[in-house]
Amino acid sequence: MNEKIMRLREIIRESDNIVFFGGAGVSTESGIPDFRSVDGLYHQEWKYPPETILSHSFFTRYPEEYYRFHRAKLVVENVKPNRAHLRLAELEREGKLKAVITQNIDGLHQAAGSKKVLELHGSILRAYCSKCRKPYPADLINFGSGVPRCGCGGVIRPDIVLYEESLDQDILYQATSYIRNADVLIVGGTSLKVYPAAGLINYYRGNKLVLINRSETPYDSYADLVIHEKIGEVFDQV
């Protein structure tokens, strides 16, 4: 075990007020591609760039094309939580971790057993009518073909935050408050390039900011401990 991992172990052992803030890199070891890695969705061929397809205006104008992308790229079948998700759930049960704040939309933290999960960008495991807001089972949008419609005529949509849409204010408020009051903030598997989520780090006031990411991030120089390794492998050792 290297020195940095030993330091992280010590930080975790000494605290009972840890908050985790993560992104797509937390789920790549479960087989879900992220956006910005070399094998991520931004480097794959599609008619439009992902940030265009995943925008509110595109969804409204071209729901067929949106759903082709959604089913081909966002929905990955038979995925299971990996060692990062599982260890985080365990730390919560041990009373050490207060909350998981995630930009992910895959529901894997809950599948691992985490209870306090703040989903900043929603979840593809929930759906609702964009017109009357009636809830629908997610299978209706994640599988099959065409554009799913509600009895009222509205298009059924995933309960995710598309580009151009604002984040749920209550979730954002809770996330900032957990981060502000945390003793230890562990940030992992995120490029820290998507705002306003990435800006949440600025609410942290402590002196144990840990960054675990395969590649460099714009916040590396602010962190007290930076680990450029795979997050599942790191959590397996702490």
Catalogue the active-site residues: 121
In our burial notation (b when 16+ CB lie closer than 10 A, e otherwise), range 133-167 reads: eeebebeebbeeeeebebeeeebbbbbbbbeeeee
User: Cα separation of 15 and 94, whole Å?
Assistant: 11
Residue 32 binds ligand CNA, judged by CB under 6 A: yes
The only residue of 214, 219, 225, 237 in contact with ligand CNA, by rule CB under 6 A: 214
Q: Count helices and strands (H / E) in the chain.
A: 9, 9
Segment interacting with ligand CNA (CB under 6 A) among 24-32, 59-67, 129-137, 175-183: 24-32
The only residue of 25, 63, 81, 158 in contact with ligand CNA, by rule CB under 6 A: 25
Provide the 10 A C-beta neighbour count for residue 39: 9
The only residue of 21, 35, 58, 69 in contact with ligand CNA, by rule CB under 6 A: 35
Residue 112 binds ligand CNA, judged by CB under 6 A: no
Label residue 113 left, alpha or beta by phi (over 0 means left) and psi (-120 to 50 means alpha): left
Residue 69 binds ligand CNA, judged by CB under 6 A: no
Task: Count interface residues toward ligand CNA (CB under 6 A).
Answer: 28
Segment interacting with ligand CNA (CB under 6 A) among 131-139, 141-149, 151-159, 210-218: 210-218
Handedness of CA 117, 123, 129, 135 (dihedral sign): negative
Residue 131 CB, nearest approach to ligand CNA (Å): 24
Q: Is the peptide bond before 158 cis (omega within 30 degrees of 0)?
A: no
- Subset of residues 122 to 161 that bind ligand CNA, contact rule: CB under 6 A: none
Nearest CB to ligand CNA, comparing residues 98 and 109: 109
Segment interacting with ligand CNA (CB under 6 A) among 91-99, 110-118, 145-153, 209-217: 209-217
Residue 114 binds ligand CNA, judged by CB under 6 A: no
The only residue of 110, 187, 230, 238 in contact with ligand CNA, by rule CB under 6 A: 230
Burial class of residue 13, CB neighbours in 10 A (0-12, 13-18, 19+): exposed
User: Cα separation of 22 and 232, whole Å?
Assistant: 12
Determine contact, residues 156/182, Cβ cutoff 8 Å. no
The only residue of 104, 110, 114, 142 in contact with ligand CNA, by rule CB under 6 A: 104
Residue 40 binds ligand CNA, judged by CB under 6 A: yes
